[in-house]
Structure 1
Amino acid sequence: MQFEALKVFCDVARNQSFSRAADANQISQSAVSQIVNQLEKRLGVQLVDRSRRPLQLTHSGRAYFDGCKKLVEQYLEVEASIRNGNGNGNGRHLDASIRVAAIYSVGLRDMSQYVQRFVAQQPGAQIEIEYLHPDRVTERVLDGTADFGLISFPEPTRKLVAVPWREEEMVVACAPSHPFVAEGRVKVAQLNGLKYVGFDRDLVIRRKVDRFLRDHGVAVQGVLEFDNVENIKQAIEINAGVALLPLPALQREVRDGTIAAVPLRDARFVRPLGILHRRNPKPSPNAQRFIELLRQPDDPITEDQPVSGLYAAGHKTPPPPSKLASRGNGK
């Protein structure tokens, strides 16, 4: 059995698609289908459930993918190190791809900066990032189609490891014409009775926000609910209500003047972001290197503008956080 066949199968498993695997290997879709058919015939089991869209691995297919994935990664690393004249297996030119599943609000701009830095350190590395609903992020990690996931309020499980990544301050997002902007900072109690645009009830971040408001004796008037931060921001831009959102997710809108970010005066509420990966098998060496880069103390916000510049006009940066206000698992 040839190594190329294992790599093609792994690409089918990661992409859940014959056509995408064909593009990744620069062969035809029919050739990919034949390779998978030959593997199934040789093993005497069905590896891919072709009746479902996107394609899903069978139980045997998932077990086979788990075993083949690390072999393929290790082979590509050894091959790359030899090609670069470094026969000790520690070559830095890596061709193996890294699959990342991330919640929408992590931010394309932030991740692009991390990808650029990693590729500069590891020439030839390929990183594919898919932005998904929080539940789908966890599913991608569990079924092995993502090397790791980026999610808020992470929580470890029997099968998943949750690695702390960073904490993001939650601020009041409102239209630039809102009276809060002139105040610079607001007390939590001032949200009482206001029209509020929130996350869907099935998201953990919604439960965390609800608990935070309840602990401060605040009852808002819910007017709209969405499953992602982009739709919430669009509702705020048309002055449909206010919302508690992570400050980094508002960078573009604050700089463009379409949304104001007003910090809380009397409370500290943060959203913890974390990295999820399976306990067994562990992420490939290449994926582990990318995780290490992500965890380096370097906040993308500060690269071209200080955090204070993201707040409503006239506000001074608040004091450093005293303690984490909320933890859990979700968006």
Structure 2
Amino acid sequence: MRYSLRQLEVFLAVAHFENITRAAESLAMSQSAASSSLKELEQQFDIQLFDRVGKRLQLNEQGSLFRPKVEALLAQANELEEAFQQHTAIGHLKVGATLTIGNYLAVEIMARYMAKQPGAKVELEVANTEAIARKVANFELDIGLIEGELQHPDLEVVPWWEDDLVVFCAPGHPLAGKAKLSDDDLVAADWIVRESGSGTRQGFDRAMHGLLPDLQLKLELQHTEAIKRAVEAELGVGCLSTIALKDAFKRGSLIPLPAPHRDWHRQFYIILQRQKYRSAGIEQWLSLCWDSAK
């Protein structure tokens, strides 16, 4: 074999960081060793994998072609190593989830995954839809669980969980006594909403089609709990997933505001890099996701 796994690790690290020094640090190597490793790989096959742009090493067309193949090969190699060490084919998994899913669904799936596979490790990263999609596409996460609709040439987007958004307010809010909100009510309200780029905001904007230019968006917050606290303080009305509001509605600290003439239904999705190797761990996680959605 004319290449080593270490050379392939260096190639992927440089593709990620676009910098030899940072790539070497991530692999606990010296800069010179990493540079030599990459140079030897290119020389052995008479190929150039990067374009040198100043201090940056930018993956070129040839390098982009090989990157998913190298990702898959190293994923299989890591899986084999873990199987030797732990006598199991289920190993380390990096999962990304948007806020509602991360807080209310993914942790339960993670607990079931680890119960089935003692010794397996799961890293859960919580961010908005745009951030999770970018990291899955760039091979930084194995799986993404997102709330927003998405189209990306490198991602497989699979419908997963049915959900609904709901408008809500504090019991003392002037709208609390209304059996049904009109468009005039929606326009007159002060809104506390998620930030742009989040799946919840995307669903809210779609539901409010035709009214968006007239809405009073008082606050844009990145966390569902912050929105709930602000609404409880009667700073305005909010719109979040029913999953995130179930306990608050049960306690009576927040109350739903029906607006049935607007479409609040939405879909959660599983996203995967089309060219990423599907390890046993990924397949196990997907199986648990489908079980949870039944």
TM-score (norm 1): 0.66
Query: Does residue 1:142 correspond to 2:144, yes or no?
Result: no
- Provide Cα deviations, 1:293-330, integer angstroms capped at 9, x if missing partner: 1122458xxxxxxxxxxxxxxxxxxxxxxxxxxxxxxx
Cα distance in 1 for partners of 2:173, 2:78 equals 55
Q: Which moved more, 1:110-119 or 1:60-69?
A: 60-69
- Superposition deviation, residue 117 in structure 1: 0.9
Cα distance in 2 for partners of 1:33, 1:61 equals 20
What does residue 94 of structure 1 align with? 90
Equivalent of 1:40 in 38, 48, 61: 38
- Superposition deviation, residue 166 in structure 1: 0.7
User: 1:197, 1:236 within 8 Å by CA — same for their partners in 2?
Assistant: yes
What does residue 68 of structure 1 align with? 70
Counterpart AA for 2:59? T
Cα distance in 1 for partners of 2:52, 2:173 equals 53
Q: Which moved more, 1:161-170 or 1:290-299?
A: 290-299
**Superposition pairs of residues 163-242 of structure 1, within 5 angstroms:** 163-181=158-176, 186-189=180-183, 190-200=185-195, 205-206=200-201, 208-214=203-209, 220-242=215-237
Distance 1:11 1:295, change over 3 A: farther
Gaps of 5+ in 1: 23-28, 86-91, 300-331
Cα distance in 2 for partners of 1:290, 1:102 equals 13
- Superposition deviation, residue 248 in structure 1: 1.4
**Superposition pairs of residues 116-135 of structure 1, within 5 angstroms:** 116-135=111-130
Counterpart AA for 2:133? T
Cα distance in 2 for partners of 1:291, 1:34 equals 41
Q: SS of the counterpart of 1:75?
A: helix
What does residue 45 of structure 2 align with? none
- Superposition deviation, residue 163 in structure 1: 0.5
Distance 1:63 1:218, change over 3 A: closer
Q: SS of the counterpart of 2:291?
A: coil
Distance 1:41 1:9, change over 3 A: closer
Distance 1:35 1:104, change over 3 A: farther
Q: SS of the counterpart of 2:153?
A: coil
What does residue 304 of structure 1 align with? none
**Superposition pairs of residues 97-112 of structure 1, within 5 angstroms:** 97-112=92-107
- Provide Cα deviations, 1:213-247, integer angstroms capped at 9, x if missing partner: 34699954332234554443343232211022111
Cα distance in 1 for partners of 2:85, 2:190 equals 61
Number of aligned positions between the proteins: 281
User: 1:142, 1:278 within 8 Å by CA — same for their partners in 2?
Assistant: yes
TM-score (norm 2): 0.73
Gaps of 5+ in 2: 43-47
Counterpart AA for 2:134? E
User: 1:93, 1:124 within 8 Å by CA — same for their partners in 2?
Assistant: no
User: 2:10, 2:37 within 8 Å by CA — same for their partners in 1?
Assistant: no
Cα distance in 2 for partners of 1:124, 1:48 equals 41
Cα distance in 1 for partners of 2:251, 2:35 equals 53
RMSD: 4.1
Cα distance in 2 for partners of 1:234, 1:33 equals 49
User: 2:49, 2:63 within 8 Å by CA — same for their partners in 1?
Assistant: yes
- Provide Cα deviations, 1:181-234, integer angstroms capped at 9, x if missing partner: 556x53454434111223445666545434423469995433223455444334
Q: SS of the counterpart of 1:239?
A: coil
Distance 1:182 1:114, change over 3 A: same
Distance 1:162 1:18, change over 3 A: same
Counterpart AA for 2:76? Q
What does residue 287 of structure 2 align with? 292
User: 2:166, 2:258 within 8 Å by CA — same for their partners in 1?
Assistant: yes
